[in-house]
Structure 1
Amino acid sequence: MESAEEAPLSVFITGFGKFIGVPYNPTESIVNNLKWFMKVKGMPKGVVIEKCQILVAAGKDALSPLCDFFKSAVEGKEDDPSKLSRTILIHFGVSSAITKFAIESQAINEADFLWEDQLGWVPSNESIIKEDGGIEQIRKTSLPINKIVTELVKMGFPVVVSNDAGRFVCNYVYYNSLRFADGNGIKSLFVHVPLFNQIDEAIQMLFVSSLLEVIASTYACLE
C-alpha cells in the first residue's frame, strides 16, 4: 500500500452550466479548459486531475449524476485510507454579486431557491438531507481555508473566505459533497468565482491553477 506521502493528490472538479440570470456560466469554460490549461502551464508536483465534469444547475432532480460523480472519486480506494485522505472534490460556481473569488467555508442544510433551477424545482425552506435534521444544520470543510486564502492573496489574487454559499444550487451541491466527504474520509471545497466581466477568463484560469498549487503545498498539515 502506498503511504500518504507517496499517493498523489487526486482532484475531482465540477463546474455548472447556465441557469436563470446567467446564460453563460464562466465555470463551464474554466472546468472544460482546465486540463488543457494545466498541461500547458504545468501541473503542481504530486497533483492529478482525475475528472472534470459540468453539472446541470439543479438540485434534487440532478442528484443521481452528482452521486455518480462522488462515487467515482472513491472507487477502488475504499480499503486504502492513504489514497482516500489525498482525494479532494473541488466545486466551482459563479456569483454575479461578487467581484472577488470566494472560498466557501461551509454549507447549510437548507434549500430555499428564489427562482426555479434548470429542472424546474423551487424548494422553500426545505432540508437538503432530512436525516441530518433541520435547516440550521451546518457542515464545514476540513481544509485549512484561511491558510489557503492567505497564500492566494500573497500571490496577488482578490480572494476572501465566505461563510455563506447561499441557498441555491451551489449550497445544495456543497452540502451533499461535504456530507459525502465526511462519510468517506476525503475532502471537499467550494469556490465561487465572479463573472468574466469582473475578472477576465485568463486571470480566472491562473487563479484556479494557483489554487491547486496552494492546496498541494498546504496538504501536509492535514496528514
Structure 2
Amino acid sequence: MRILVSGFDPFGGEKINPAYEAVKLLPDNIAGAEIVKLEIPTVFHKAADVIEQKVKESDPDVILCIGQAGGRYGLTPERVAINVDDARIADNEDNQPIDVTIQADGPAAYFSSLPIKAMVERIKETKTPSSVSNSAGTFVCNHIMYQILYMIDKTYPDKIGGFVHCPFIPEQVINKSNQPSMHLEDISKGLEAGIQAIVERQGKGDIKEIGGSIH
C-alpha cells in the first residue's frame, strides 16, 4: 500500500506551515504502508496540478492532504468539500476567487472516502485532541480536498482520499491572543495514528461512532 501525504507551504504572512513540517516528520513506512511526502503550494488550482503530477509518478492507493487551520484545538479529519472557492484572503500568488465554482461539471460537494471516525478514535488513543470537522472552509484547503476527490471520481476510482486540518504550533501564537496551539511532534504523532487507521480500515469502510456536531 502506498499513501501520498501532502502539506501546504506557509501562507497568510506566516513563516512556517505546521502541515508540511509535520508531514516531514512522518516515518517512511506506517503500518506496512509506504509514505510518499509532498509539499504543495498554497495556490488555487496549482496545488491540484502538483498533486496530480505526483499521483501519476507514484500511483498511490491513498491521497491524504494536510493543512493548517489556525484557531482549532486538535487534528480534524474533514468530512466534506464543497464546490466553491470564496477566498477571505489571497493565496500565495495573489489569486482571490470569490464565489467561484471549482469544477463546472462536478457535484455540489464530495464526501471524504477516508475512514474519518476511525482516524479520530486512533488519534485520540495517542492522547492527541481530535474530532470530525464538517467544514473545510472555502480557501485552498477546501479547494484541494475537492480537487482530490474530483480527480478520484473522474480518473482514479480505485483510490481513496481526504483531508486533515491541524492547529497552529506554539511559535505561531506568541503574538496571537487566545489562540490554541499544538507541538509539531504531537501533530505528526497524531497524523501517524490517523494513517494507521486508514491502513487498518482498508476495504472495511469507517466505524460507526458519534462524531457529529450541533453547530
Q: Same fold (TM over 0.5)?
A: yes
Q: Which of 84, 89, 105 is 1:131 aligned to?
A: 105
1:204-215 aligned at under 5 Å gives the runs: 204-215=187-198
Q: 1:73 to 1:122 in 2, by over 3 A?
A: same
Larger Rg: 1
Q: Which of 7, 14, 23 is 1:15 aligned to?
A: 7
CA contact under 8 A between 2:47 and 2:144: conserved in structure 1? no
Instruction: Give ranges in structure 2 of 5+ residues lacking alignment.
Output: 171-180, 206-215
Instruction: Give ranges in structure 1 of 5+ residues lacking alignment.
Output: 1-8, 75-83
Distance (whole Å) between structure 2 residues aligned to residue 32 and residue 154 of structure 1: 22
1:60 deviates by 2.7
Per-residue CA deviations over 1:168-205 (Å, capped at 9, x if unaligned) read 00011110001112231200020000011211012112
The structure carrying a bigger helix percent of its residues is 1
RMSD (CA atoms): 1.8
1:27-106 aligned at under 5 Å gives the runs: 27-34=19-26, 38=27, 43-49=29-35, 51-74=36-59, 87-106=61-80
Secondary structure of 1:146's counterpart equals: helix
- 2:201 is the alignment partner of 1:218: yes
Q: 1:45 to 1:64 in 2, by over 3 A?
A: closer
State the one-letter code of the partner of 2:63: L
State the one-letter code of the partner of 2:39: I
Secondary structure of 1:159's counterpart equals: coil
Map of 1:110 onto structure 2: 84
1:150 deviates by 2.2
Map of 2:209 onto structure 1: none
- After TM superposition, the runs of 4+ consecutive aligned structure 1 residues lying more than 3 A away are none
Aligned residues with identical type, % of pairs: 23
Per-residue CA deviations over 1:70-122 (Å, capped at 9, x if unaligned) read 33343xxxxxxxxx7xx000100001121111100110000000111001111
Distance (whole Å) between structure 2 residues aligned to residue 66 and residue 10 of structure 1: 15
Q: 1:28 to 1:146 in 2, by over 3 A?
A: closer
Secondary structure of 1:132's counterpart equals: coil
Secondary structure of 2:132's counterpart equals: strand
State how many pairs are aligned.
Answer: 193
Map of 1:177 onto structure 2: 148
Distance (whole Å) between structure 2 residues aligned to residue 174 and residue 66 of structure 1: 11
Secondary structure of 1:13's counterpart equals: strand
- 2:151 is the alignment partner of 1:168: no
TM-score by length of 2: 0.83
State the one-letter code of the partner of 1:45: A
- 2:176 is the alignment partner of 1:195: no
1:208 deviates by 1.6
CA contact under 8 A between 1:70 and 1:177: conserved in structure 2? no
